Amino acid sequence: MVILGAGPAGLVLGNLLQTSGIDCVVLERATRAEVQARSRAGFLAPNTVRILDRHGLAEGLHRHGREHATCEFRTEDGRFRLDYAALGRGERHTVYPQHALVTDLLTRYLDTGGQVRFGTEALTVRDADSTRPTVTARDADGRTGSWRGRYVAGCDGRHGAARRSLPPGAVRRHHLDHGVSWLGLLAEAPPSLDAVGYAVHPRGFAGHMARTPEITRYYLQCERGTSPDAWSEDRIWDELSLRMRAADYGPLHRGPVVHRAVIDLESDVLEPLRHGSLLLAGDAASLLSPSAAKGANLAVLEAEILALALIDDLGHGDPTGLDRYSARCLEHIWRAQEFSRWMVRLLHGAPGPDGESMFQDSLRRSRLASLGSSRSCQDWFAEHYVGV
Ligand code: RFL
């Protein structure tokens, strides 16, 4: 079994296969240090924690993760808080940075004898329509080699070799550009509020998400095409303070911005998630906008479904799970996509000169008013916000 990519999807899959005695190798383009330093997600859904618990992979997150169950919306009409653990199914998030989870998964996989080839970039997957698919890969010294297995799992993200190797027409790609960009920031500063903060402002969206007691993630809506370095740190903090209405609700804890990236909010779904012996999971299968924090959670869920199906097939000669893999995952993916899209519409809609954007903005305002006042709307939100 050849797994492309040592992110959450590839490493959950690798751990489950390894524990079941299925021989596998993970090919990873980056170095181990790079993989363990990549800061991204932080909000783990209860189902993700249950999956990791089931397979003995949750020790670190139970030790260092923190439970989280409140979000606060700040708008031109005031602010309101939702304690989502008291709504919907009564569930909460665990805040645990993705790089810490990836480090735990990698350590466990290597400690139990798993093989990872770091610095090895998969170039193509050939013969995916046969039972001996082959991956051509280049190592850090520029040497090219081949890796063959019964199956190849494409867990190498949206720009990886798995997607590139799909023959034209084999898989459909459904794509949606939400038309919005965010400047994603990591600040070396403690969280400024004890809630996820969503601020809707005439100058654009601003978001606040705790990561650790020392690190906080912020988002600022920006013009499409903005360079990540275009904003000075002073401008970033001034804009965050303005949009989050710090003058009314309390100042933000400022600190050095240690990472920044511009994210164009886009979504896509590949259908089906399988071409012969090549199976897709995580961002390689479907990209979600970060508006609802679902990507890493879906990656873990899909990896578990795929691992159990592969164990049935390779260990017991039962292909039923693999035959159903794509349909089962797509059901979860489309629900997550729907909620992410709803969140994009909840948080954006700048008023403009034309009637269309005024209309959109009024819908956005009305959506927020329903969320702030209707218990059934809040229950629906809570269920989808923590669910995958
Ligand atoms: P990853 O984590 O991108 O890992 C893919 C791995 O594949 C390697 N790779 C290759 N290796 C070999 N050959 C090649 N040709 C290769 N090409 C790539 C890469 O080096 C990498 O190690 O994909 P995976 O495993 O599918 O996991 C997906 C998640 O990482 C992603 O969905 C989340 O980070 C999305 N996301 C969030 N998800 C959540 O559930 N909760 C959150 O709070 C959350 N916050 C976020 C996010 C994504 C963000 N960005 C990147 C837009 C916040 C941000 C800012």
CA 154 to ligand 1 centroid distance, Å = 13
State what percent of residues in the chain have pLDDT above 90. Answer: 92
What local confidence, expressed as pLDDT, does residue 355 receive?
61
Ligand 1 in contact with 290 (CB < 6 A)? yes
Residue 49 CB–ligand 1 contact under 6 Å? no
Q: Is 219 a catalytic residue?
A: no
Q: What percent of the chain has pLDDT over 70?
A: 98
The two three-digit tokens of residue 379, written as one number = 């229950």
353: confidence class by pLDDT, cuts 50, 70, 90: low
CATH class of the domain comprising 2-68+93-175+267-343: alpha beta
Q: For the segment 300-324, what is each residue's pLDDT rounded down to a tens digit? A: 999 999 999 999 999 999 999 999 9
What is the distance in A from the centroid of ligand 1 to the CA of 283? 6
Cβ(29) – ligand 1 distance below 6 Å? yes
The answer to whether ipTM exceeds 0.90 is yes
Centre of ligand 1 to C-alpha 7, Å, is 6
Contact 56, 105 (CB under 8 A): no
Check if 358 has its Cβ closer than 6 Å to any atom of ligand 1: no
Q: How far is the CA of 99 from the centre of ligand 1 (A)?
A: 10
**Residue whose structure tokens are 């965010």:** 182
Q: How far is the CA of 295 from the centre of ligand 1 (A)?
A: 8
pTM: 0.96
Max CA pair span of the chain: 64
CATH 3.20.20.300 fits 178-265+355-386, yes or no: no
User: Residue 384 — pLDDT band, cuts 50, 70, 90?
Assistant: very high
Most informative mutation of 156, 164, 208, 301 for ligand 1 (most atoms within 8 A of CB): 156
User: If you measure from the C-alpha of residue 382 to the centroid of ligand 1, how many angstroms do you get, rounded to a whole number?
Assistant: 25
Which of the residues 84, 96, 109, 198 is marked catalytic?
198
Question: How much is the mean pLDDT over the chain?
Answer: 96
> Ligand 1: which residue has its CA nearest to atom 36?
41
Distance CA 22, CA 307 (A): 10
Could you say which of 294, 332, 348, 384 is catalytic?
A: 294
Ranking 44-53, 125-134, 343-352 by mean pLDDT, the lowest is: 343-352
Rounded Cα gap, residues 271 and 269, in angstroms: 6
Whether 289 and 347 have beta carbons less than 8 Å apart is answered as no
d(C-alpha 350, C-alpha 337), whole Å: 22
Return the best residue to mutate from 40, 96, 186, 286 for the ligand 1 pocket (most ligand atoms within 8 A of CB): 40
Average pLDDT of 16-44?
95
174: annotated active-site residue: no
72 falls in which pLDDT band (50, 70, 90)?
very high
Instruction: Say yes or no to pLDDT of 354 above 70.
Output: no
pLDDT tens for each residue of 172-211: 999 999 999 999 999 999 999 999 999 999 999 999 998 8
Q: Once rounded to an integer, what is the mean pLDDT over residues 140-156? A: 97
Q: Which atom of ligand 1 is nearest to the CA of 284?
A: 26
Active-site residue flag, 325: no
Ligand 1, atom nearest to 184 Cα: 55
Domain boundaries, the chain: 2-68+93-175+267-343, 178-265+355-386
Whether 256 sits among the annotated catalytic residues: the reply is no
pLDDT value at 350 more than 80: no
Whether 294 is catalytic is yes
Reduce the secondary structure of 27-75 to three states and give it as a string.
ECCCCHHHHHHCCCCCEECHHHHHHHHHCCCCHHHHHHCEEECEEEEEE
151, 290, 332, 384: the active-site residue: 290
